[in-house]
């Protein structure tokens, strides 16, 4: 399965130079309602509130997610996440990247389709035990059908206004040594993979190492060339970059408007 990530030119260069892809904490996403669909049965209000809060806190501290999409030619996605059509979309083979591996993903790609609803779901879960609560992040690192409702509520529900994104999520445990600061850049490994923790725009970003062979498609935005002309760079530099990327994927694609429609299409990029 090939899924797509919209990004700026700067981010795309980082991905292709390091063979890694960034996972973000739920705290750092652009939807303020992340994890709020997770709620437990109203037995004793104080107990319920404490468990809701404790679960969300541990989930946000120990897990991070990668947001992908099924469509590389979505004009709104290009505008919102592809640097206003100046950026790049990278196509990732999720099998080759290990993103379908249920042993290393809390939510693997094949289970990560977002559920869009007009109202917040009320799938109230049983109040968990202290042992279950403490297991979040420590014991739970792979996909388990028994925990599916809990993590589906936490990660896979969004308001229907976001449906245009056609989002597919991959969730992994990014837990490391508890004494390592979230604001410190470091490299580490855990049961979910090999990681490089960096700082990006004042927040931690967890970069998962993936095989170069898992990057199988690259799309250049409709205004991609503006990155070079805007800063007085030459066509030679643009063509050099295209040539480098043609050595990574078999078919480098250029996005353009589809004549007579409001749609986008892609054609092979040329030097």
The confidence band for 133, taking pLDDT boundaries of 50, 70 and 90, is low
DSSP secondary structure string for all residues of 21-87? EEEB-GGGSS-TTTTTT--B--SSHHHHHHHHHHHHHHHHHHEEEEEEES-TT-HHHHHHHTTTTTS
Q: What is the pLDDT of residue 254?
A: 96
Query: Quick one: pLDDT band at residue 226, thresholds 50, 70, 90?
Result: confident
pLDDT at residue 202 in the model: 82
pLDDT at 117: 94
Confidence of residue 102 (pLDDT cuts 50, 70, 90): very high
Per-residue pLDDT tens digits for 154-211: 899 999 999 999 999 999 999 886 656 666 788 999 989 999 999 888 888 999 999 9
User: What CA–CA distance (Å, rounded) separates 258 from 263?
Assistant: 6
pTM for this predicted structure: 0.89
């Amino acid at each position: 399965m090939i899924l797509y990530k919209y990004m700026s030119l700067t981010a795309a260069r980082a991905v292709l130079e390091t063979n890694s892809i960034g996972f973000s904490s739920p705290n750092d996403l652009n939807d303020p309602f992340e994890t709020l669909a997770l709620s437990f049965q109203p037995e004793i209000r104080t107990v319920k509130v404490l468990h809701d809060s404790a679960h969300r806190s541990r989930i946000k501290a120990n897990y991070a997610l990668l947001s992908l999409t099924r469509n590389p030619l979505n004009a709104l996605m290009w505008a919102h996440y592809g640097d206003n059509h100046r950026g790049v979309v990278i196509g990732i083979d999720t099998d080759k990247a290990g993103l379908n591996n249920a042993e290393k993903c809390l939510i693997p790609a094949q289970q990560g389709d977002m559920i869009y609803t007009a109202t917040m779901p009320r799938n109230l879960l049983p109040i968990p035990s202290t042992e279950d609560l403490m297991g979040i992040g420590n014991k739970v690192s792979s996909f388990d059908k028994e925990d599916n409702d809990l993590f589906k509520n936490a990660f896979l529900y969004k308001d229907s206004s976001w449906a245009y994104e056609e989002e597919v999520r991959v969730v992994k445990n990014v837990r490391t040594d508890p004494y390592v600061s979230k604001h410190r850049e470091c490299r580490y490994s855990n049961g979910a993979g090999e990681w490089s923790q960096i700082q990006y725009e004042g927040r931690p970003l967890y970069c998962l190492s993936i095989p170069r062979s898992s990057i199988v498609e690259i799309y250049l935005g409709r205004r991609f060339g503006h990155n070079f002309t805007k800063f007085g760079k030459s066509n030679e530099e643009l063509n050099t970059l295209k040539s480098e990327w043609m050595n990574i994927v078999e078919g480098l694609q250029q996005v353009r408007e589809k004549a007579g429609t409001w749609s986008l299409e892609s054609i092979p990029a040329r030097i």
